[in-house]
């Protein structure tokens, strides 16, 4: 029996010795040529095709990043357009699927806010995939939303970032008070102030739509992203990564400007129909249910994706404002979103639905308020 045990141990040692572990700098995969063009916040950026996804090198697309070699950590700070590095791709003669480079084993860790982002090393740079930063037609936990246009062969990433609006407030002599996502403009002749309050100030990992009531309409003017953020700090004289709470205030400057100046107006019905049709066409979606009134249109859509079907809830007000209600949920629950049990109560003007099988929501079609039940 002892000989048998010894033989088994010997076989195990030989098997383990034959396993090769990847070392830093070892080749791990290939980069392929692609005709897909990538955009971040409306600006075209240089991209690569890695493992079937569209990836960007952080160092090539934004100036707002920080790297610490001692901790082997890269922090993505912002995709504010003022920091994005513009690139113009020429894909007219690209031979799709050709190997144009390689990825390499790396020990560098990438974070955006407090979320660890999968990464690749290429030629001394660090790549992340657009699909890992934003969810498809829904905001991810770090405030990213992806849109794929199969006809134009483009992938677009919309990332929430701090939008400066002091000039709008000062020009129109307004204070802007925001309480739990409800905004109020107040005239002020001394100083223009933006103040933000929450009933639960400790709450993080949430995306809160900012709405303002104007001319009997609830108008979406932006979003608040509340999230922990990883930063470098000395703890007991040791450089460490620590969490601090932060908030990103993203505003639709055009909508806020129009409200402040009193020029926000409903669009003609024909223009509103064109906006609706355009969004349906871009999504390549099928209408499951539709509810139209003079004040709004609500659409429950099914959109085909490479991995199945995506349910989309679309809300368009009379002024042409488009809201993807399905993108405004608190996505801290999961990195994916599955909407089911959609019910439109046309008499009460309330839509109820379930997200990820256990979270229940109600959307008030008259006020535009979205609440968790």
- The model's pLDDT over 38-62, given as tens digits with 9 standing for 90+, comes to 999 889 999 888 888 889 999 999 9
Secondary structure of residue 321 in the 3-state scheme: coil
Give the CA distances from residue 186 to residues 100, 197, 218, 227, 269, in Å, rounded to whole numbers and listed in that order.
57, 15, 17, 28, 31
> Tens digit of pLDDT for each residue in 101-120?
788 888 899 999 999 999 98
Q: Are 137 and 148 in contact (CB under 8 A)?
A: no
β-pair partners for 355: 339, 359
Instruction: Identify the pLDDT of residue 226.
Output: 93
Residue 90, number of CB atoms within 10 A of its CB? 7
Q: Are 166 and 176 in contact (CB under 8 A)?
A: no
> Tens digit of pLDDT for each residue in 128-143?
999 899 888 778 889 9
CA distance 36 to 338: 27
CA distance 186 to 68: 44
Domain positions in the chain are 21-159, 162-265, 266-373
Residues above pLDDT 90, as percent of the chain: 24
β-pair partners for 32: 49, 99
DSSP strand pairing (206-214 vs 182-187): parallel
Q: Which candidate, 279, 282, 319, 318, places its Cα nearest to that of 299?
A: 279
CA distance 215 to 223: 21
Q: What share of the chain is helix, strand, coil (3-state, %, to 5)?
A: 15, 45, 35
* Main-chain phi, psi angles of 190, to 5 degrees: -110, -60
Give the CA distances from residue 354 to residues 189, 214, 301, 372, 373, in Å, rounded to whole numbers and listed in that order.
46, 30, 15, 10, 10
**pTM beyond 0.85:** no
Tokens of 186: 């107040």
Q: Which candidate, 38, 57, 159, places its Cα nearest to that of 108?
A: 57
In which band, very low, low, confident or very high, does the pLDDT at 336 lie, cut at 50, 70 and 90? low
CA distance 304 to 310: 6
> Tens digit of pLDDT for each residue in 18-31?
444 567 777 877 88
């Amino acid at each position: 029996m002892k000989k048998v045990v010894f033989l088994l141990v010997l076989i195990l040692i030989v098997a383990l010795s034959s396993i090769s572990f990847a070392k830093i700098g070892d080749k791990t995969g290939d980069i392929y040529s692609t005709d897909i063009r990538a955009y971040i916040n409306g600006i075209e950026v240089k991209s690569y095709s890695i493992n079937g996804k569209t990836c960007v090198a952080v160092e090539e697309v934004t100036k707002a990043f920080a790297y610490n070699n001692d901790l082997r950590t890269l922090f993505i700070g912002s995709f504010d357009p003022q920091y994005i590095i513009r690139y113009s791709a020429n894909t007219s003669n690209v031979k799709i699927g050709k190997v144009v480079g390689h990825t390499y084993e790396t020990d560098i860790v990438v974070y955006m806010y407090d979320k660890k982002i999968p990464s690749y090393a290429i030629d001394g740079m660090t790549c992340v995939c657009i699909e890992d930063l934003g969810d498809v037609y829904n905001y991810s936990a770090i405030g990213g939303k992806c849109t794929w246009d199969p006809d134009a062969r483009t992938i677009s990433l919309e990332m929430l970032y701090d939008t400066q609006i002091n000039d709008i407030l000062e020009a129109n002599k307004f204070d802007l008070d925001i309480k739990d996502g409800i905004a109020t403009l107040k005239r002020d002749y001394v100083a223009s102030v933006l103040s933000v309050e929450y009933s639960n100030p400790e709450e993080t990992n949430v995306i809160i739509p900012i709405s303002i009531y104007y001319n009997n309409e609830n108008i979406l003017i932006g979003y608040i992203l509340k999230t922990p953020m990883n930063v470098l700090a000395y703890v007991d004289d040791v450089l460490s990564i620590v969490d601090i709470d932060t908030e990103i205030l993203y505003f639709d400057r055009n909508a806020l400007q129009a409200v402040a100046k009193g020029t926000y107006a409903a669009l003609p019905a024909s223009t509103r129909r064109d906006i609706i049709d355009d969004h349906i066409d871009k999504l390549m979606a099928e209408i499951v249910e539709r509810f139209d009134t003079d004040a709004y249109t609500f659409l429950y859509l099914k959109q085909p994706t490479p991995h199945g079907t995506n349910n989309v809830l679309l809300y368009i007000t009379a002024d042409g404002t488009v809201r993807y209600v399905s993108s405004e949920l608190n996505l801290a629950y999961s990195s994916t979103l599955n909407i089911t049990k959609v019910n439109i109560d046309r008499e009460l003007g309330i839509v109820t639905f379930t997200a990820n099988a256990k979270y229940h929501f109600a959307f008030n079609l008259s006020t535009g308020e979205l609440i968790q039940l």
